[in-house]
Amino acid sequence: MDPASFRDPSGFVFRRDGILYRQIQQPAAADWEAFGSSGLYERLVADRLIVEHSDAGLELAAGPDAAAVIRPRMVEFISYPYEWCFSQLKGAAQLTLEVQSRALDAGMRLRDASAYNVQFEAGRPILIDSLSFEVADVTEPWPAYRQFCEHFLAPLALMAHRDVRCGLMLRDFIDGIPLDFVARLLPGRTRLNLGLSAHIHLHAGAQRRAASEPAPADGAARAKRRISETGQRALLDSLQRTVSGLRYEPSSHWADYSHATSYSDAGTASKGRLVREMLAAVGGSTAWDVGANVGVYSAMAADAGYRVIAWDLDAASVEEHWRRVRGDRNPAILPLVLDLASPSPALGWGLEERASFLGRGEPDVMLALALVHHLAIGNNVPLPGVARLFARMAPRAIVEFVPKEDPMTRRLLAARRDIFDRYSIEGFRDAFDGPFRIVREAPVEDSPRTLFLLERR
């Protein structure tokens, strides 16, 4: 059973022989049936808003009380909201509201609005939880409203109105950012924004008041909670408008960095040629470009037929990269935010709910171009430590060594004492020829840099 499946008694996800299945439990059978017969599933699949599944047969059930077992199509790579850039989180929020709107059309609704129910595939968000639907009482407020605000609206508001790096707070608050906390962090002017004022500030106040009131008798509390269908739609419309109104324009040191490299035209051409040759020599199908910036070399890998995850620590660069690739006709690149010096850890209950960066499979090849000097000098990691981490990430690596005499490395050393005696090409060879075997070493023309193709021992 998937360790993230324990929260919802309606069903769970499990693997058998490497294949992913979802079991639907008896008490959820009526909702599941209604979802199937409403035509909603077909409409969502037709517009690529939810992953498809096929019926798998009850004999595959992994436990008692199964009402159905399905086999969802697997998404290639599972990413988490704290690894998404602003527009990815916004896209996931809009997808969730769109699905809720269509569910209401079909007499149903989303039972939850968790950001973890969304993944990215082929340049767009997609809902992966087929079991999120229930028959709706349209006069009842949306039970997932609070979760939507905490998982989506709160981090988006902080990213748009305070600092885009607030997205990383989702790492600490894996079930959404508490609204009272968000209300304190947001600038006062957000109270003048109708949507944020209602769904964050008033919402935080309503939660505070409710918490200090004695628990009401269940029937009385329920009787009060009635809204009209128009009210239901108006609320959803307001959430959609509020999310659409949140904006972020990337501008950062790093996003400009690719335009300000130390390379001459001849150097750039030579580096590109070498990277293409090495990618062809590997002949794989998946690549991770680490320190991808806005994705110049990710695009090269995609052109060579690779499906690429492009990691970068800078949220602005990832934003710029995502905006560029999401509109591609055949998007093969997924940009994500990650600081390799402190990558996504295992998180949640028993440290098993969300897998770590290293716990989500490995690509055929990793690219670390113009990265090693940032790790070794910017972050003081000795070269053997860099080599060991790379060897845990991928069986093959294309790594660029940037020596001390390079202007970019000199810039890193400009304001500090050079304590890096072992940082040299000899030191690089010694460090990597251990966890890896050096398959090819090729100097970049018109540049002091060298490219290595490495294979894990």
Contacting positions for another protein (CB under 8 A): 7-10, 27-28, 31, 47-49, 90-91, 94-95, 98, 111-112, 124-125, 134-135, 140-147, 149, 198, 202-203, 206-211, 213, 216, 221-222, 224-228, 230-235, 237-238, 240-241, 243-245
Q: For residues 194 and 419, which CB has a smaller minimum distance to another protein in the complex?
A: 194
State phi, psi for 397 to the nearest 5 degrees: -140, 140
Q: How far is the CB of 137 from another protein (least distance, A)?
A: 8
Evaluate the CA torsion angle 95, 97, 102, 106 in order and state its sign.
positive
Encoded tokens for 68: 């159905």
For another protein, give the closer residue by CB, 113 or 369. Answer: 113
Q: Which is closer to another protein, CB of 179 or CB of 393?
A: 179
Cβ 33 to another protein, closest distance in Å?
Answer: 14
Minimum CB distance to another protein, residue 64 (Å): 17
| Least separation in angstroms between CB 285 and another protein | 27
Residue entry with tokens 């086999």: 71
Q: What tokens appear for 434 in the block?
A: 């251990």
Residue 61 to residue 42: CA distance in whole angstroms: 24
209 or 259: CB nearest another protein = 209
Do the bridges between strand 436-443 and strand 450-456 make them parallel or antiparallel, or are there none, so unpaired? antiparallel
- Residue with tokens 């077909």, as numbered in its chain: 42
Residue of 262, 316, 267, 312 whose CA lies nearest to 289: 312
DSSP assignment letter at 375 = I
How far is Cα 104 from Cα 247, in angstroms, rounded to an integer? 27
Which residue in the block uniquely carries the two structure tokens 């970019």? 408
- Report the residue number, 92 or 158, with the smaller CB distance to another protein: 92
Name the residue among 99, 195, 210, 111 with its Cα closest to residue 154: 195
d(CA 136, CA 155): 28
Measured from the CB of residue 127, what is the shortest distance to another protein in angstroms? 10
Three-class DSSP category at 97: helix
- Smaller CB separation from another protein, 78 or 235: 235
Closer residue to another protein in complex, CB, 49/281 = 49
CB of 256 to another protein, least distance (A): 24
- Tell me the closest approach of the beta carbon of residue 409 to another protein, in angstroms: 40
